[in-house]
Amino acid sequence: MHKLYDFMEARERLATIAVKTKLIHSSVYSQETGNDVYIKPENLQRTGSFKLRGAYNKISKLTEEEKACGVIAASAGNHAQGVALAAQRLGIKAVIVMPRHTPLIKVEATRQYGAEVVLAGEVYDEAYEKACELQEKHGYVFVHPFDDEDVIEGQGTIALEILEELPNADIILVPIGGGGLISGVAAAAKLKNPQVKIIGVEPEGAASAKAAVAEGKPVNLPSVSTIADGAAVKLIGTRDLEYIQTYVDEIVTVSDYELMEAFLLLAEKHKIIGENAGLLSVAGLKKLRVRGKTVVSILSGGNIDVLTIASMITKGLVVRGRIFTFAVNLSDKPGQLVAVSEILAEQNANVIKLEHNQFKNLDRFHEVELVVTVETNGEDHIKKITAAMADRGYTIHRISSNEFNEHD
């Protein structure tokens, strides 16, 4: 395991390529959590994520013979871009194996940095197997995205920057995918200030770190399911687990819907765009059980395509109670639609979508179903609309986030 001076030397190595991202105070999350919250915006890092730090640190330490062989990596996107840019800067050939369903923005960005991209497998682990096969065949040097001491060392430079800018930080929240980021950050932070608490945050549907800690060894999850594609890792790194066991105080998980809410809040209140995996620690802020602490959340990346942004905003609005979709059965007679519209107008609910379906109900000769989507100002506003409808004899069924796409 690393010493503090290892991380300090890595910071010097990265001085010519990595951006020292400045902390951003979050008044909205400070208010919602009862803590003094800051965001470390690594989405503003070169290549759009923290991954450049570990990749460049690793590749810059290779021998001349190793550099001549070229490098290969497996990645869901961000590590790919970090390796590609680092290799380009150092004049080294780079081959990147990415899962077939990696967002297009990440694939194209990797190619633009001069790397050769190979698409293989459905998830990271399958892409990793293909990369190992190519490494053995061509003799490339493998740059692992998280289970590598030099990569861990590079990621730890984030903690040095945080504690230099905010020495009184009580808690640092860190996203967990494979474990490289939290390994480096936790080790560097604890070596610099043993009192700081490190909390890891991973997706509910890909909680490989939590499973590994519980079992005391890496656990290969049978499957993963999360919108945080960059953290969809079935098996955490062996080295990373050792760092987590040594330096990490707690691991929490967040749902996809909590990620959607975090995306909306950041975009609306801070004008910051974060990718799903990068938002893990931001969503994790609401899992804190303490108040009055100085907290830093590492927003680890912002590489997200426009179509995903649109979807995240819409779903985030639903989760936050800013969009309310409901179904109501109406008598099949004239004037019912007008009556519902009048109630909504009285409650200052702006209708943005309406579906009138005479064939949805079994008893369609007596009733029809109306599905309405309105703009609202939160849960209190929704409760008032629901009560007003009930007062007029209408029982409504709220369309949940799960059902939203079915009616979209």
Boundary (domain end) residue, out of 290, 316, 342: 316
At 377, phi and psi to the nearest 5?
-110, 35
51 is catalytic: yes
- Tally the domains of the chain: 3
In a domain, 308, yes or no: yes
At 309, phi and psi to the nearest 5?
-60, -45
Q: Which of 60, 208, 281, 300 is catalytic?
A: 300
Same domain for 244 and 328: no
Q: What residues form DSSP beta bridges with 351? A: 374
For residue 362, the domain's CATH number is 3.30.70.260
Amino acid at 84: A
In a domain, 131, yes or no: yes
d(CA 42, CA 20): 9
pLDDT reported for residue 258: 94
In a domain, 57, yes or no: yes
The two three-digit tokens of residue 152, written as one number? 């861990």
Tell me which residue range forms the domain holding 232: 4-49+152-316
Amino acid at 110: T
In a domain, 289, yes or no: yes
pLDDT reported for residue 357: 67
Same domain for 308 and 162: yes
d(CA 266, CA 326): 27
Same domain for 80 and 192: no
Same domain for 326 and 312: no
The two three-digit tokens of residue 255, written as one number? 């749902």
Same domain for 364 and 279: no
N- to C-terminal Cα distance for the chain?
Answer: 51
Cα–Cα distances in Å, from 3 out to 58, 152, 155? 17, 12, 14
Give the torsion through C-alpha atoms of 9, 81, 39, 272, to 10 deg. Answer: 150
Same domain for 283 and 166: yes
300 is catalytic: yes
Boundary (domain end) residue, out of 88, 108, 142: 142
pLDDT tens, position by position, 339-379: 899 999 999 999 988 887 666 554 555 678 889 999 999 89
Strands (E) located in 258-334: 294-299, 323-331
For residue 21, the domain's CATH number is 3.40.50.1100
User: Coil, helix or strand for 52?
Assistant: helix
Q: Which of 26, 49, 51, 192 is catalytic?
A: 51
Same domain for 298 and 380: no
In a domain, 147, yes or no: no
User: Percentages helix, strand, coil for the chain, rounded to the nearest 5?
Assistant: 50, 20, 35
d(CA 224, CA 210): 13
pLDDT reported for residue 354: 85
Same domain for 258 and 396: no
User: Coil, helix or strand for 365?
Assistant: coil
Boundary (domain end) residue, out of 267, 287, 316: 316
d(CA 155, CA 160): 10
Which residue blocks in 70-176 are alpha helix, DSSP H? 78-90, 104-112, 124-138, 149-155, 157-165
Same domain for 262 and 325: no
pLDDT reported for residue 358: 64
Burial class (CB in 10 A: 0-12, 13-18, 19+), 281: buried
C-beta of residue 125 within 8 angstroms of C-beta of residue 145: no
Same domain for 326 and 267: no
The two three-digit tokens of residue 263, written as one number? 């995306």
In a domain, 248, yes or no: yes
Same domain for 171 and 76: no
Same domain for 128 and 118: yes
Residue-wise pLDDT tens for the chain (408 aa)? 899 999 999 999 999 999 999 999 999 999 999 999 999 999 999 999 999 999 999 999 999 999 999 999 998 778 999 999 999 999 999 999 998 988 777 788 899 999 999 999 987 778 889 999 999 999 999 999 899 999 999 999 999 999 999 999 999 999 999 999 999 999 999 999 999 999 999 999 999 999 999 999 999 999 999 999 888 888 899 999 999 999 999 999 999 999 999 999 999 899 999 999 999 999 999 999 999 999 999 999 998 877 788 888 888 888 888 999 998 888 877 888 888 999 999 999 999 888 876 665 545 556 788 899 999 998 999 999 999 999 998 888 888 755 555 555
